[in-house]
């Protein structure tokens, strides 16, 4: 019966099927390893990106704080300049009056 071609073909088919199943098990194990490796890499990249974004956020916060402080200083300087302009205007008017009075006194005989 060992010379039966159908039986020999079935035996070869079963052997090939066993080889395919072993290959499938190997592929599934490789896929699981690959999935774990990819997830680990994604986690590392995510942590790296998160750290960079936190750093950028901190830089922006510091820059905004400095910008706000500069704006406050600018506004304070503007207020001081207006006050100084008003004082100078008052002094110029007083000086003009004093000069007019001095001219008046000089013109008197």
Res 108: pLDDT: 77
Res 37: pLDDT: 97
Res 107: pLDDT: 85
Place of tokens 């690959």: 34
Per-residue confidence of the chain (109 residues) as pLDDT tens digits?
457 999 989 999 999 999 999 999 999 999 999 999 999 999 999 999 999 999 999 999 999 999 999 999 999 999 999 999 999 999 999 999 999 999 888 887 6
Q: How many Å is the Cα radius of gyration of the chain? A: 46
- Torsion 73-79-81-87 (CA) sign: negative
Q: Would you say the pTM of this structure is higher than 0.75?
A: no
DSSP 68: H
C-alpha to C-alpha distance for 26 and 32, rounded to whole angstroms: 10
């Amino acid at each position: 019966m060992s010379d039966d071609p159908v039986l020999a073909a079935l035996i070869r088919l079963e052997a090939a099927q066993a080889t395919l199943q072993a290959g499938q098990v190997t592929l599934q194990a490789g896929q699981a390893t690959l999935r774990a490796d990819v997830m680990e890499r994604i986690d590392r990249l995510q942590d790296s990106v998160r750290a960079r974004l936190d750093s950028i956020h901190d830089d922006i916060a510091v820059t905004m704080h400095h910008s706000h402080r500069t704006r406050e200083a600018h506004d304070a300087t503007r207020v001081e300049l207006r006050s100084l302009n008003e004082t100078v205007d008052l002094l110029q008017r007083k000086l003009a009056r004093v000069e007019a009075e001095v001219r008046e006194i000089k013109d008197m005989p």
